[in-house]
Amino acid sequence: MRVFVYESLTATGTGREPASPEHGMYREGRAMRDAVAADLGRAPGVEVTAPEGAEFDRAARSADWSLVIAPECGGELLRLAMRVSEAGGRLLGPSADAIGLCSDKLALAEQWRANGVRTPATTDRVPTRCEPFPVVWKPRDGAGSTATFRLDSHFALASAKARLAAEGHTGPMILQEFVPGRAASVAFLCGPAGNVPLAPTFQLLSDDGRFRYLGGELPIPPDLAERAAALARRAIDCVPGLVGYVGVDLVLGDAADGSRDFAIEINPRLTTSYVGLRELAVFNLGEAMLAAAAGEALAPLRWKAGSVRFGPDGSVARG
């Protein structure tokens, strides 16, 4: 079996320079690419290919599966997924419709609210002086906390607009209710036989009002893990077409019954949590992803004792 692995930022060199605004996403992309390619390469009978540039279409067409890792920004992930299909390839990931829905944070919020999934109030209007501060202002199709701001008062709005312009972001934005709590995520291996949750993780985010991703840690306390998995499952169950590895971002509030937990977004692709999860997995995570996508029923997933903290650059520390 041949698997084509394509990570867009490393393939194109976007964000390679440390001073680039995309450098954080570049590091995450490289870490995810290296980790999943290593796991797939250890799976029996699997050959991993990673050609770049003009070889994309040929590689997708000749592979049994194509795994695309790319940010949702500007429709990049959707464009590459559709390119796989147009080349005659088989995507190891969600359908184009699922990617389109998950990439549009306003549309996804509306889908969740229609299906009773708790999510912050979200609108596409421009923030004003009269907001119930604090609020979150972020791209409608963003990834990696790019151009994301917590606005604590109307005084912060002008500063955020200036920084938005300086960072060169020109795409549509959404305004979202700020919900306090602990940032967490749950990844799933999705396929025709069902959606299997992986171990929930905490996300480590900057406290400067920009929510910059600093990595994560796992496992999380059992009661929080149970709440996170339950909410994340409701969040993906109302999105048809999810296949392969999918991540759900959450905020876990201070109510023990989960009534203040909120679904924030779905990443219809590999996430950096993969780097930490593979360290505690007794099984080969890449091989399990392939099996789920192919419609195989997965055996119960087992995890090693101990803890892991991982960084956005792929660094891992065992506890």
Residues 6+ apart with CB under 8 A from 214: 204, 205, 206, 311, 312
Residues 6+ apart with CB under 8 A from 37: 5, 48, 50
Instruction: Provide the domain count of the chain.
Output: 3
Residue 114 counted as domain residue: yes
Residue 127 counted as domain residue: no
Q: Examine the fold and report which residue of 160, 176, 192 is the final residue of a domain before the chain moves on.
A: 176
CATH code of 20's domain: 3.40.50
Same domain, 172 and 224: no
pLDDT of residue 208: 95
Mean pLDDT of 145-162: 92
User: CB–CB of 149/272 below 8 Å?
Assistant: no
Same domain, 42 and 153: no
pLDDT exceeds 70 at position 289: yes
Same domain, 112 and 247: yes
pLDDT in tens, 70-124: 999 999 999 999 999 999 999 999 999 999 999 999 999 999 999 999 999 999 9
pLDDT of residue 119: 98
Same domain, 35 and 76: yes
pLDDT in tens, 29-76: 999 999 999 999 999 999 999 987 679 999 999 999 999 999 999 999
Same domain, 222 and 148: no
* Domain coverage including residue 151: 134-176
pLDDT exceeds 90 at position 136: yes
CATH code of 247's domain: 3.30.470.20
Same domain, 49 and 187: no
Same domain, 208 and 154: no
pLDDT of residue 53: 67
